Amino acid sequence: MKKVAGVALLTLLSAWTLVAAGDEITVPLRFDRYYLPVEINDALKALHKAYPELTVLEEVGRSDEGRSLYAMTVNNPKTGAPLEKPGIYVDGNIHGNEIQGGDISLYLLDYLLGGYGHNKEITELVDRICFYVVPVVNVDGRYHFMTDPNTASSNRSLRIPTDDDRDGLVDEDFPDDIDGDGNICQMRKKDPFGRLKTDSEDARLMIPVKPGEKGEWSLLGHEGLDNDGDGRVNEDSEGYVDPNRNWGFDWAPPYVQQGSGEYPFSGTGMKALAEWIMIKSNICVGWSFHNYGGMYLRGPSRKGLGEFPPQDISVYDFIGRQAERITPGYRYLIGWKDLYTTYGDSVEWLTQIMGAYGYVAEVFQAQAETFRGNAEKPAPPEEERPGMAMLEEGITDRERIRFNDHLAQGELFKPWTPFKHPTYGDIEIGGWVKMSSRLSAPFMIKDLVHRNAMVVIFSAKHLPEVELEVTEIKAVGKNLFRVRTRLANPRAVPTMSYLAQKVKLYPKDMLKVSGAGAKVVAGGLLTDPYRDQVTYKKNNPETQFLVVPGFGKVEHQFLIEGKGELEVSYESRHGGKRTKTAVLE
Ligand SMILES: [Ca+2]
Ligand SMILES: [Ca+2]
Ligand SMILES: [Ca+2]
Ligand SMILES: [Ca+2]
Ligand SMILES: [Zn+2]
């Protein structure tokens, strides 16, 4: 009887976390559990198979362990090539254990492709812009997180062997799943001098002893053995090179930024991805999905980089504040100021090297797993660093364990169990399991992936949508015409960020006027159409350089000699291409 119950429990556990691989992945995709790495690739292949005209599936490169890193481009070739349209970039799971980003990316793809031709808004969006989606950046990390025993916070790293404790050996003493349940939990030992005692409210939990009070338990750290026999347990696990500190903008060596790697882009997958992104010169907005905390963060990632230009901040704010509304509880914050400083992170690279508006999303809030009635809600704290507070605030273990009991039927916490440890003797193993703490419970995945995909879609709708008009052709003399043009953009994102303009990251948009029988004698920015005020350009007046602002317009005036057909063409990295013809008469 007991044995049967044990088997049933094991089956239940795997249903809660990972259904056995082998089910065929079909479109539309399902979001009732997290996809295994191989299933992510199968899902991408299934999407490509179902929507071959709208998708390109590419291997961007290989990881340090040789796994394929895939990207999917969603573009309708009938409305133009990708680089002729504004582009948006989305990635996830750069930290191996932060797997939700992979599932959010798949949901976004499934939603866009499934909605195309059925939903008007999605059809228009897919026809107008190009999506670049990399569901899993750290493919080795996702593989090892989901396949190997782990804590909720382990296997973040790139698989570049690193000697963390400087003993001359690399990755020689990792956490060990000594009770074989697939989790790395905690070890504790009876200890009258320990700093913890059993919580009288719930015997599974421990609380700190008061000064002078007798102790009961000492925590011995993560489950494991002393693999190399040096007297220390688990002192050098896989990596650690942090894939999100290894990028080539504002990189700093490991003595400044822990885990940055020996040099920027030392991770082969990171380098391949950067090279792949760099060709996508149309990327206007970039999103990178992490866990946890419930935040949408903009840069700069370090105070010393200086604040972004105010016009860029208003774009960030417009999207960020809407994101807060789409995902209640999340907060739109500034990386260095509200959370912490980072060097060499991927979104700062997207912002500063690609000229994109970059956001880091920290999905999942511990507060979503509260177990509180209305009267039990505490007042929100006032804090100096709200992002840090969102990481720490969370909920108490007493509350989490009731969520575990009543909403997860015990799946999130392993009861303390006696174990004979070769180094520590009689100990107990127990605590929070791998698929807890930073990952939404499966019943909440759909809500998580949907809201975050809608945030991406909102920002995608605000990629520049440039409209070119010839607003006036007026004879002002013999064979002389005054021609006025207008470039308007009803969306929030300009055709070039103000940061990119400030540092002259790449050439501005170009407006050209030409005609076989026409000679442009003067041309410039029309600053006041009513009082005919123009800032004329000194040389080559037929070619004007400009940026079309968000929610705005830019107008030009040309004085043209001659007659006949006139072509006005506009070309922009982020705003696409437009052409208009007119006749001088
Ligand atoms: Ca070592
Ligand atoms: Ca274990
Ligand atoms: Ca050791
Ligand atoms: Ca170990
Ligand atoms: Zn992360």
Identify residues whose C-beta is under 5 A from ligand 2, the ion.
177, 179, 181, 183
Which residues on neighbouring strands pair with residue 361, listed in sequence order? 289, 296
Look up the CATH number of the domain holding residue 132.
Answer: 3.40.630.10
* More confident position, 130 or 11: 130
Residue 201 is predicted with a pLDDT of 93
Map residue 187 onto helix, strand or coil. Answer: strand
pLDDT in tens, 472-505: 999 999 999 999 999 999 999 999 999 999 999 9
Q: Are residues 234 and 246 in the same domain?
A: no
Q: Is residue 454 part of a domain?
A: yes
Residue 101 is predicted with a pLDDT of 98
Q: Are residues 400 and 455 in the same domain?
A: no
* Predicted confidence (pLDDT) at residue 291 exceeds the cutoff of 70: yes
Q: How confident is the model at residue 446 (pLDDT cuts 50, 70, 90)?
A: very high
Q: Is residue 30 part of a domain?
A: yes
Q: Is residue 169 part of a domain?
A: no
Q: Angle at the Cα of 97 (from 96 to 99), degrees rounded to 5?
A: 90
Q: Are residues 344 and 327 in the same domain?
A: yes
Tally the domains of the chain: 3
- CA 238 – ligand 1 centroid, Å: 10
* Predicted confidence (pLDDT) at residue 378 exceeds the cutoff of 80: no
Q: Angle at the Cα of 103 (from 102 to 106), degrees rounded to 5?
A: 90
Q: Are residues 207 and 92 in the same domain?
A: no
- Measured CA to CA, the distance from residue 371 to residue 430 in angstroms comes to 22
Residue 374 is predicted with a pLDDT of 74
Q: Which residue range is the domain that position 113 belongs to?
A: 2-148+242-364+448-461
Q: How confident is the model at residue 370 (pLDDT cuts 50, 70, 90)?
A: confident
* More confident position, 364 or 372: 364
Q: Are residues 509 and 553 in the same domain?
A: yes
- CA 164 – ligand 1 centroid, Å: 5
* Predicted confidence (pLDDT) at residue 8 exceeds the cutoff of 50: no
Instruction: Please report which ligand is nearest the Cα atom of 228.
Output: 3
Instruction: Give every CB contact of residue 205 below 8 A, 6+ residues apart in sequence.
Output: 198, 199, 397, 398, 401
Q: Is residue 491 part of a domain?
A: yes
Instruction: Please report which ligand is nearest the Cα atom of 428.
Output: 2
Q: Are residues 356 and 296 in the same domain?
A: yes
pLDDT in tens, 240-283: 999 999 999 999 999 999 999 999 999 999 999 999 999 999 99
From residue 154, alpha-carbon distances to 76, 142, 146, 259, 469 in Å are 39, 10, 10, 14, 55
Q: Are residues 290 and 192 in the same domain?
A: no
- CA 462 – ligand 2 centroid, Å: 47
Span 51-57, average pLDDT: 98
Q: Are residues 323 and 342 in the same domain?
A: yes
Show which of 408, 440, 461 is a domain's final residue. Answer: 461
Q: Is residue 202 part of a domain?
A: yes
Residue 548 is predicted with a pLDDT of 98
Q: Which of 19-23, 100-104, 353-357 has the lowest mean pLDDT?
A: 19-23
Instruction: Please report which ligand is nearest the Cα atom of 289.
Output: 5
- Measured CA to CA, the distance from residue 360 to residue 389 in angstroms comes to 17
- CA 324 – ligand 1 centroid, Å: 43
Neighbours of 121 (CB within 10 A): 10
Instruction: Please report which ligand is nearest the Cα atom of 179.
Output: 2
Q: How confident is the model at residue 12 (pLDDT cuts 50, 70, 90)?
A: very low
Look up the CATH number of the domain holding residue 504.
Answer: 2.60.40.10
Residue 17 is predicted with a pLDDT of 53
Phi-psi sector, 532: left (phi>0), alpha (psi -120 to 50), beta: left
- CA 234 – ligand 1 centroid, Å: 10
Instruction: Give every CB contact of residue 108 below 8 A, 6+ residues apart in sequence.
Output: 90, 131, 133, 449, 453, 456, 457
Instruction: Please report which ligand is nearest the Cα atom of 362.
Output: 5
- CA 275 – ligand 3 centroid, Å: 39
Residue 380 is predicted with a pLDDT of 64
Is residue 479 within 8 Å of 563, Cβ to Cβ? yes
Instruction: Give every CB contact of residue 538 below 8 A, 6+ residues apart in sequence.
Output: none
* Predicted confidence (pLDDT) at residue 1 exceeds the cutoff of 70: no
Q: Are residues 200 and 128 in the same domain?
A: no
Residue 384 is predicted with a pLDDT of 76
Instruction: Please report which ligand is nearest the Cα atom of 169.
Output: 1
Instruction: Please report which ligand is nearest the Cα atom of 187.
Output: 2
Residue 11 is predicted with a pLDDT of 38
Q: Are residues 399 and 488 in the same domain?
A: no
Is residue 149 within 8 Å of 414, Cβ to Cβ? no
Q: State pTM to two decimals.
A: 0.94
- CA 230 – ligand 1 centroid, Å: 10
- CA 231 – ligand 3 centroid, Å: 6
- CA 222 – ligand 4 centroid, Å: 9
Q: Is residue 388 part of a domain?
A: no
- CA 507 – ligand 5 centroid, Å: 33
Q: Is residue 229 part of a domain?
A: yes
Q: Are residues 475 and 580 in the same domain?
A: yes
Minimal CA–CA distance to 395: which of 433, 334, 436, 442?
436
Two tokens at 119? 């939903």
Q: Are residues 99 and 41 in the same domain?
A: yes
- Measured CA to CA, the distance from residue 284 to residue 276 in angstroms comes to 15
Q: Is residue 372 part of a domain?
A: no
* Predicted confidence (pLDDT) at residue 3 exceeds the cutoff of 80: no
* Predicted confidence (pLDDT) at residue 404 exceeds the cutoff of 50: yes
Neighbours of 406 (CB within 10 A): 10
